[in-house]
A and B are shown apart, each in its own frame.
Chain A
Amino acid sequence: MRISLQWLSEYVDLPAPEELARRLTAVGLEVEAVERTGQGLDGVVAARILSSVKHPDAEKLSVTSVDRGDGRPLQVVCGARNYQVGDLVPLATVGTTLPGGTRISKAKLRGVESFGMLCSARELGLSEDASGLLILPPDAVPGTPIATALKLDDVLFEVNVTPNRPDALSHLGIAREVAAATGTPLKRPAAAPREGGPPAAEAVKVRIEAPEKCARYAARVVEGVTIGPSPLWLQRRLERCGIRAISNVVDVTNLVLLELGHPLHAFDLDKVAGAEIVVRAARPGERMTTLDGKERVLDPDDLVIADRDRSSALAGVMGGGDSEISAGTRRVLVESAWFQPATVRRTAKRHGLHTEASHRFERGADPGMVTAALDRCAALIAELAGGTVRPGVVDAQARPAPRTTVRLRWKRPGQLLGLEVAAGDIRRILGGLGFTERDSDGEGATWEVPSWRVDVTIEEDLVEELTRTLGYQVIPETLPRLALDTPAIAPRLEAQARTRVALEGHGFREVVSYAFVPPQDLEAFEPGVKPVALKNPISAELAVMRTSVVPSLLRTAAFNRRQGRDTSRLYELASAFWPRAGADRDPPAVERPVVAAVLTGRRSPLSWATTGEPSDFHDLKGAVESVLAALGVEAVFEQAGRAVAWLHPRAAALVRSSDGARLGALGEIHPRVALAFDLPRGVLACELDAAALLAASRLVPGYRPIPRLPAVLRDLAVVVDEPVAAAAVTALVREEPLVEEVTLFDVYRGAPLAGGRKSLALAIRYRASDRTLTDAEADAAHARIVERLTRAVGAQLRA
């Protein structure tokens, strides 16, 4: 809400602007910006035109003599014609720079000297009007700076009025707050119009057919008006508050809106068919053209203001073109109503309209202002547009304005704030804000809420009134007196922390990416996927909720490659989102926290000390194994084949817990996916299900005694066929009870081995827990292993 201090000062005495801004902010009406107008017009003064003759050599120019207050007439050449000798006009003196950047210097125009320039409103940056000189009010004194003469030197506040405070959406509303905060009296604008002629009720009838949506509809009739432009002061007031001036009658309704906060609407009464106003629900399929020129199809939930034949306004939102005030309007019907906030809001939303009127009605207009605003408006129309106000208000008061009362117990502020507020202070503060004490006893008092404070309904609201007046600084600082208790760290948070450390230790860097992604990213990733979609995404790029975090990481990797970073290790802990399968609707979707990582480029950073080998599957697997180890998860890796759509079938693994639960997948991304994400071949990715990991985790390890008896070490090299998995071989080795540990330390292919064969070299540690193992026992165990391998996987001992 823009507030003009010049205007505001008509209702209350103001402190200096800085102090006023501080006080308003302190009571919850934050002043977000301060603007000073009338700047940049130094050197422009009021001047009286003493004489004007035609330029001897130029048809369109005149040579004037003007008085700028020093008694020495000045010659100025001028191109305008809209003035008369004796008028007061703005003179830009030599040396002045106008707001548009024009610098005024002594000039010769077609041979005639000119000592300055007479200005239009546009040249002064005051309005778009360039049709002629700006004619100043006749009471201006020559020589007065133009900013003073036009009262341009104003200070404008941009006040952030929160949605609960519709009462502060006007100059009077802000003045009320200033008066309460500074303890100065409030001066209300005069209201009552002078009336004449036959009663208004004979000119128009008002009927409310939807009383649940319109609590009151009052109207006045002004006849014999002349439509024309508003006086400058009025236009300027509107413009400073961001409203375009249109015509005197319309401008007055807007002026009263900004002054008193109550939205009004003016109709051309001669266009009201049947001389009847009906407040009713729109009919199905009904159409109306609103003032913005759009034809709208109305909804039966819309409340309209109609005449006998058709609707002529969206109630509380916008008028219709049919009954608009126009140049020929003679009889005006002024509407002042109270519409139900939710109705106005729904209609405004439905039609995509947000107007000064809807803004106030949907927050709650002051029911006590209906007739006061109407009177003020009618009086101003009669004053500025001529005409006579017909006696009386046509008032269809479907129900009386409610009187809200709220009880405040004397001890409640102390209970809620930790600061006792004395009864005397409570009375002073609430009284100053317009609350009326109805009855009181030892326990508390009942307060009648002023009609404009639609936000105050419960005891806590009254406590807030106290605090915002006293200021939060008076409340002490304490700490809650709670039972001393320290909650345990939840296992899922512990698991998350360990996962991070494990991945970061492997060189992965966390990224944070949007949870919504382009649908084609998911489609490329997992063809046929059906993600949860947004109704109103910002763009198609952010349209569906990701079912996997990997696509976001691939995008990030591709982005960084474009920045020249071929090597990256990225991870993210976030949720993947899925539609629900079951009947339970709370929560509305499935959210699966996942651990995702992507690896591209070199294994090690470019360095003299490392080789430049590209990362491969086992680099990623190493990182995954570290995560599993950090969580104490016993897992197995198995060939995924084509089970994971986004992985290369020849380099894809599933991770399962020891009891078979699927923990996730890892591998090289599918060539199709690489292509879709603009990545090279060989990019590695994994995604693990955080909940499944947690379920399989053992965060507190169990202790095993350190062996006291010596071990026997034996190496074993066996040759097997290529498809035989390393894990199958080591598992067979472990079947031997004396084996404590087996480490695969070499894999060899090539001569002298036959094609399709590979040699696996194993370091085996034998140990018995109850005795020192003899060489003979170890040899026997070793032989059993060789025999088992030969039998099970066709292994041959390598010579």
Chain B
Amino acid sequence: MADLLGQLESLAMGAREASASAADERALEELRVRFLGKKGELSAVLRGMGALPAGERPRVGEVANRVRDQVEALLAARKASLAGAALEAELSGPALDVTLPGRHLAPRGGRHPVTQVREAIVGVFQRLGYEVTDGPEIELDWYNFEALNIPADHPARDMQDTFYVDEATLGPGEQKGDVVLRTHTSPVQIRAMLRAGKPPIRVICPGRVYRSDYDMTHSPMFHQVEGLCVDEGITFADLKGTLAAFARAFFGPGTRTRFRPSYFPFVEPGAEVDVSCTICGGTGKKDGKRCGTCKETGWLEVLGAGMVHPRLLANVGYDPARHTGFAFGMGVERMAMLRFGIDDLRLFFENDLRFLEQF
């Protein structure tokens, strides 16, 4: 018996040495076969057990089982250690060049700055409960002028250089008066009121408008956003509150507004609305120097506004004795120029990708 136990002892020792020097998984598998396989060393020892007296067998069997467990543990430990070393070797290999640019299957798309600003403006009023609406760009004189209290032969028509449409190219049949490219989004006020049929009405109308004027500060096509709110009991104070809220939402929380009397034929009383300069914060000075954006005044003119002229309400069949309303309008390009610090209006329509890709 002592002989068998000795063999088991040396088998365990041999396995310990062999596994420690096994170089890879294949060597470990060979060791498993050598020690624990059917024709392996342990099996050979156990075959010798048959010669033992029955009383000694359990003792030898117990030791043999322990040795088997030991060898298996040794092999597993060595396997884990080899795997760890291999992983570490992989992790320590040369890193890839993370500074190589990422892969773009298509260029980066994007939105025109005027659209971005228009959406920002419209978004503020949508949050205030205004509904977005629009109207045609080729417009009847009646909507663009007459209904807005700008009759023919009125000098207020000189405030806007108008493109007229050649009526012969509009198709057969008689026209209802002159046809123009709308000079402002204000005709949408009329269309929106007619469409609604009766107050309350709260709409915001973004759109393209056209004036026959072209230089650094004028484009023959540009964008406006028009707002209109009509109901019982709407006051100028409501207009002030609404535009002050808009200015804070659009330009930033500290923005102040200032109303100055002015004239637009479709409102009475009318006002021009200034906001505190976005560049110098209304101080007129930037870094100790004259602020060029507001020309040192601290104010930027950004909006026209007023109480809807009673004649407009009458023109669409509303009762001016019962209903009042306010309207306002602003130029989108002007807002975009202020927001992005752009100084030449023409850039918006040249569509140079080197310009557009900045936004």
Contacts and interface: CB of A to CB of B under 8 A. Distances in A.
A163 B262 CA distance: 10
A482 B231 contact: yes
A467 B165 contact: no
B138 A591 contact: yes
A514 B345 CA distance: 13
B16 interface: no
B139 A504 contact: no
A468 B261 contact: yes
A82 interface: no
Interface string A546-572: 000000000010011001010111100
Contacts of B155: 163, 341, 345, 362-363
Contacts of B208: 515, 574
A794 B357 CA distance: 51
B100 interface: yes
B246 to A, nearest CB: 11
B268 interface: yes
Q: Is the interface of B mostly helix, strand, loop or mixed?
A: mixed
A537 B166 CA distance: 10
A399 interface: no
Contacts of B181: 515, 534
B53 to A, nearest CB: 62
B349 A463 contact: no
Interface core residue of A475, A581, A603 (most chain B CB under 10 Å)? A475
A528 to B, nearest CB: 14
A487 B132 CA distance: 9
A520 B205 CA distance: 33
A516 B112 CA distance: 19
Nearest to B191: A587
B251 interface: no
Given A609-B100, A610-B105, A511 B356 contact: yes
A604 B170 contact: no
A30 B108 CA distance: 46
Contact of B173 (A463, A560, A583): A583
B103 A609 contact: yes
Nearest to B103: A609
A589 B236 contact: no
Interface string A75-91: 00000000000000000
Interface in B201-243: 202, 208, 210, 212, 214, 220-221, 229, 231, 233-238, 240-242
A563 B164 CA distance: 34
Interface string B321-359: 000100000000000000000000000111111101100
A479 B128 CA distance: 10
Contacts of A218: none
B153 A345 contact: yes
Interface core residue of B101, B158, B164, B171 (most chain A CB under 10 Å)? B171
Given A460-B268, A478-B237, A482-B200, A514 B261 contact: no
A792 B176 CA distance: 59
Interface in B51-66: none
B41 interface: no
Contacts of A538: 212, 214, 220
A623 to B, nearest CB: 9
Given A477-B244, A514-B221, A610-B105, A532 B169 contact: yes
Contacts of B245: 479
Contacts of A493: 132
Contacts of B114: 512
Contact of A163 (B110, B158, B176, B234): B158
A500 interface: yes
B101 A608 contact: yes
Given A28-B263, A464-B268, A588-B179, A509 B238 contact: no
Interface string A472-486: 110111111111111
A484 B272 CA distance: 29
Interface core residue of B200, B212, B235, B271 (most chain A CB under 10 Å)? B235
A459 B155 CA distance: 22
A27 interface: yes
A578 to B, nearest CB: 9
Contact of B106 (A506, A544, A570, A588): A506
Contacts of B270: 464
Interface string A584-610: 011111010000000000011101111
B210 A416 contact: no
Interface residues of A, number: 101
B208 to A, nearest CB: 7
A495 to B, nearest CB: 13
B175 interface: yes
Nearest to A464: B269
Interface string B98-117: 00111111111111101100
Contacts of A30: 260, 262, 272
Given A346-B153, A532-B165, A559-B352, A460 B260 contact: no
B193 interface: no
Nearest to A602: B107
A461 interface: yes
A493 B137 CA distance: 18
A353 interface: no
A342 interface: yes
A556 B175 contact: no
B309 interface: yes
A478 B243 CA distance: 10
B136 interface: yes
B100 A608 contact: yes
A514 B237 contact: no
A616 to B, nearest CB: 14
Given A163-B263, A415-B235, A579 B171 contact: yes
Interface of A: 25-28, 30, 162-165, 341-342, 345-346, 362-363, 415-419, 458, 460-461, 463-464, 467-468, 472-473, 475-487, 489-490, 493, 500, 503-516, 530-538, 542, 544-545, 556, 559-560, 563, 565, 567-570, 574-575, 577, 579-581, 583, 585-589, 591, 603-605, 607-610
Interface of B: 100-112, 114-115, 129-132, 135-140, 152-156, 158-159, 163-166, 169-171, 173-176, 179, 181, 200, 202, 208, 210, 212, 214, 220-221, 229, 231, 233-238, 240-242, 244-245, 258-263, 265, 268-272, 307, 309-310, 324, 348-354, 356-357
Given A460-B310, A580-B170, 6 more contacts: A479-B241, A480-B202, A515-B137, A545-B165, A563-B353, A585-B174
24 contacts: A30-B272, A415-B233, A416-B307, A419-B235, A419-B237, A463-B268, A475-B259, A477-B241, A478-B241, A480-B231, A480-B241, A484-B129, A486-B129, A490-B131, A505-B109, A509-B112, A532-B166, A536-B212, A565-B354, A574-B208, A577-B138, A579-B170, A585-B175, A588-B140
